[in-house]
Chain A
């Protein structure tokens, strides 16, 4: 059986599983559609949250990001997990006690203002839509690569699959589908990693293998893996894997990702689905357990892949000859076809020299040995995870599993985002602002229609991605950090915070973040409309790192304005008191 057929079978089986779950978990009420009837076990919810959170970027790109930069890009590991500490202590239990369905609903009720609610809806939609484009695109690419169909067909398939289980099952369907998707994606990620780690270090746990010594039969045997890697990279003129560059910027970016994570609405709404406040606390912990299984494996995958590639290119070490063109491993050929990997024998010696040709120290050596520049001309970072089973020479079904895992990661995140968007529209715009008298049945229908429309928009944007898709993720994190997180937190921790303060804060965060991003990356990211360039960063801060500063603007504006205006009414202060105390959360279940 050829690989494509095998991929079709494994991916098809995973879809059949998701459809089966969707039919079983059909939502019958708005409570089931928005919050899965609040009956989800915290461990199950943790698993669903992990799948919801881990997107195509975590699954496919993160290991590659770490592999090619090393220590500095640990900021993704810390940033994307550290936010859960903030969420578990500063948001999740209180929002669960508040006991409603959406994030803008909390903002609207706590700040007794439809204006605040609408600002929150706008932030939520901007955050979620920018995010969902990347997920749909990711799903489309995964389909086209593994099933060898074109990207349009891949996107329509992705849209159809999400449509079936999200429109039918709502949060209830999504939750249980995400549990299945988690199992698929974590198996796909860890199986190849375990084999590679066993091969290199003899340790079956990749996270421990990363800090172990290399076993006999590999280059650098008997030496610690990281020492060997640092040595090889220095010899080739690259930066040491474990070296630090700018610690302050690294800390700022880490903080930005942490606050952004804690403010992402599609993750926050998952904590509405558990039965009790205590469960919301447990659930955040379980989510991180399941996320950590992948996040502790990723740095090992990154470092081991970098080492494998380097030793493949230099089979006898740097002092020996580089790899001959006809001795490149088979997976090189497979991936060269896709254009994601490219070699070019510039000096025509039949060998491929891989080194950092922009390093002046290496130019003398290059001249001496007749090299004419780096000959590994293209190496897309996303290949690392996707080609991992081939690099480790694992059987075809593992490769098929990676295909199903990548698709599961993209679809589960897309579904979570689409639910956040559709519930904000049907619940916060239609029910709360435009038509408060809508019946439960009418609202459920409106929720399903909004979901269907959101899917169509997502598929359309996936087909015609705005050219700035990579930059908008920075906008999503920046806005979540600068608008929703501070506003939610102040709503819980400050009784004095009033509607004027909250609205001023959200606007200050929104405007300052957009202004900083647009100034450097162009107005709405249109190329050529930027007014400043990267040499003119304020205090050297890149736009991607702006989240914490936007959050400071939010806190500052909110503090000043709320102190200059009247305190919130007594019933709101009582509401804050009650949100802080777990007792009585059960009553919210049947509201």
Chain B
């Protein structure tokens, strides 16, 4: 812990990124797939509607993208703040 103020900035950047990811996480699963399904029901996907696709596949794909996006962004933030390993 060389520079305490920068550690604070690092943590803030991390928490901001987590919020962003969790909002997308909730929007795609609880949102489009369940509660907002009627809103997107006009969009047809392969014999059904967008909400059904999000419920059975879309959410899982979004979760995957989110975790890798988070890992890549965090590794960059680690380096920017000089707290990465090695």
Query: Taking beta carbons and an 8 Å cutoff, which residues of A are in contact with B?
Result: 66, 71, 74, 77-78, 81-82, 84-85, 88-90, 93, 207, 210-213, 223-227, 242, 244, 247-248, 250-251, 254-255, 258, 276-278, 281-282, 284-285, 288-289, 292, 295-296, 299, 493, 574, 577-578, 580-586
Contact = CB atoms under 8 A, between A and B. Distances in A.
Given A284-B67, A582-B78, A210 B46 contact: yes
A77 B34 CA distance: 13
A251 B34 contact: yes
Contacts of B63: 81-82, 84-85, 288
A211 B21 contact: no
A285 B85 contact: no
Q: Nearest 3 pairs between A and B by C-beta?
A: A211-B46, A224-B47, A74-B55
B21 A226 contact: no
Most A-side CB within 10 Å, residue of B7, B55, B56, B83: B56
A478 B11 CA distance: 30
A282 B11 CA distance: 19
B1 interface: yes
B30 A281 contact: no
A252 to B, nearest CB: 9
Interface string B50-84: 01110111011101101110110011001000011
A182 B34 CA distance: 31
Nearest to A282: B71
Contact of A77 (B45, B55, B66, B84): B55
Given A242-B52, A247-B35, A581-B10, 11 more contacts: A85-B22, A224-B48, A225-B47, A227-B47, A242-B48, A247-B37, A248-B35, A254-B34, A292-B60, A577-B1, A583-B83
A288 B64 contact: yes
25 contacts: A66-B56, A71-B56, A74-B33, A74-B55, A78-B33, A82-B59, A88-B67, A88-B70, A89-B21, A207-B57, A211-B47, A213-B47, A226-B47, A227-B47, A251-B34, A276-B85, A278-B84, A285-B67, A288-B64, A292-B60, A292-B61, A296-B61, A493-B15, A580-B11, A584-B85
B52 A277 contact: no
Contact of A278 (B18, B21, B85): B85
B71 A211 contact: no
Contacts of A254: 29-30, 34
Given A226-B46, A226-B47, A582 B83 contact: yes
Nearest to B81: A581
